[in-house]
Amino acid sequence: MSAFVALLARDVRLATRAGGSAMLALAFFAAVATLVPFGIGSEPKLLARVAAGIVWIAAVLAGLLALDRLFQADYEDGSLDLLALSPVSFEGIAAAKIAAHWLTTGLPLTILSPLLALLLNLPTKAYITLFVSLLVGTSAISAIGGVAAALTLSIRRGGLLLPLLVLPLLTPALIFGAGAVLAKLDRIENGAIWFLAAFSAVAVLLSPFLTAAALRFNLAE
């Protein structure tokens, strides 16, 4: 367990140090979300309607940003060999790195999201729904992204392939996440948030095993 925590702590530290991916993802998230009104016009009613969708798309894209280096950096510098020989199983390695990815991207994005919601004129009654949907849904981004990152590990320019693998799989999260906020705005009870929670739970539970299988395959290649 202490080895698992050590790996998690190292990855969080690497992501938050200078040149790490955490601040980059956060800045990218804010940049995408603030750019959209320039493209679609700043009509407040329109923005209020699309705010949740924009924030969600920005979160998905920002989450992808650091994913391609999730395992590749360790693979290239030989760290992955040393991780593989450590007492931590491949499943443990996968879970620690995916958790670290969520802690350094998904969680900060979620915390920043009310500010962007304010910028995009989202009605205040929907803030909590947006916050909760991101809190739950960003874990699916890290979980599914982890599998794809492990699959594309040994591919040169795998970072370009990765979004193509991840984005279709994340469609349900986007639909339920943004859908939950829209339902709140329209005062409908559609249970989207529960579907999102179920989707994230399945992704988070399966991901370490699928990621570990992909790591084993790529390392022994």
Partner 1 sequence: MGALPPVIFVEAERLACVRGGRPVFRDVSFRLERGQALVVEGPNGSGKTSLLRLIAGLLAPADGTVSFSSGAARADDGEERGRFVGWLGHNDASKPQLTAAESLRFFARLYDATGDSIPALLETVGLSRAAALPCQYLSAGQKRRLGLARLKLCGRPVWLLDEPLASLDSAGKSLLLDFVREHLAAGGLAVIATHDPLDLEAARLQLT
Residues in contact with partner 1 by CB under 8 A are 2-3, 5-7, 10, 13-14, 17-20, 76-79, 81-90, 219-220
What letter represents residue 162's amino acid?
Answer: L
Residue positions counted in the chain: 221
Nearest to partner 1 of 86, 121 (CB atom): 86
Q: Rounded to whole angstroms, how far apart are CA atoms 4 and 96?
A: 6
In angstroms, what is the minimal distance from the CB of 115 to partner 1? 28
In angstroms, what is the minimal distance from the CB of 212 to partner 1? 11
Give the ranges where 17-122 is alpha helix by DSSP (H).
21-40, 44-65, 69-76, 79-84, 90-101, 107-119
Q: Rounded to whole angstroms, how far apart are CA atoms 214 and 91?
A: 10
Nearest to partner 1 of 107, 219 (CB atom): 219
Nearest to partner 1 of 43, 76 (CB atom): 76
In angstroms, what is the minimal distance from the CB of 199 to partner 1? 31
In angstroms, what is the minimal distance from the CB of 93 to partner 1? 10
Distance of CA 86 to the CA centre of its chain: 27
Nearest to partner 1 of 88, 174 (CB atom): 88
Cα–Cα distances (Å) from 99 to 19, 24, 39, 174, in that order, read 20, 18, 34, 20
In angstroms, what is the minimal distance from the CB of 161 to partner 1? 20
Nearest to partner 1 of 42, 89 (CB atom): 89
